[in-house]
Amino acid sequence: MIKTIMRDPMFLAQKSENATEVDAQVVTDLLDTLRANLDYCVGMAANMIGVRKNIIAVAAGPFQFAMINPVITKKLRPYQTEEGCLSLEGVRPCTRYEEIEVDYLDSNFRKQHGKYTGWTAQIIQHEVDHCCGVVI
């Protein structure tokens, strides 16, 4: 189900909790909401739809996928950039990494490990920051 976008910076600044299989509907809602906003959004975290769970959704080219309880385990080649956010107005400076590795659960709650570079890596880093209560 498509959800309303959370815009309260105080809510967004709260750290999220790990998700379990009980939160499967949140995964579906997050992907539905991302797909409804693809014209101006490339990623979302569950707190952006008002749920403080460690779930993110990423748009990578024509594909959208969820990562549950993502943990970035490796970061290579930092760079400076600016990012905007669907939940917040304006852009903010931040440090990102060109290449990352992530441990996570997929939509079926199976363990995964992925290596990501470039734009997809940047999206994942932004959304993991959301889960940690970092408002960028």
Catalytic positions, written as ranges: 127
Beta carbons within 8 Å of 62's beta carbon, 6+ residues apart: none
Nearest to 68 by CA among 108, 123, 10, 11: 108
CA-CA distance, 126 to 134, in Å (whole number)? 9
Beta carbons within 8 Å of 13's beta carbon, 6+ residues apart: 133, 135
**Which DSSP string do the residues of 62-118 spell out, in sequence order?**
TEEEEEEEEEEEEEEEEEEEEEEETTEEEEEEEEEEEEEEEEEE-TTS-EEEEEEEH
Q: Residue 115's CB: how many other CB atoms inside 10 A?
A: 11
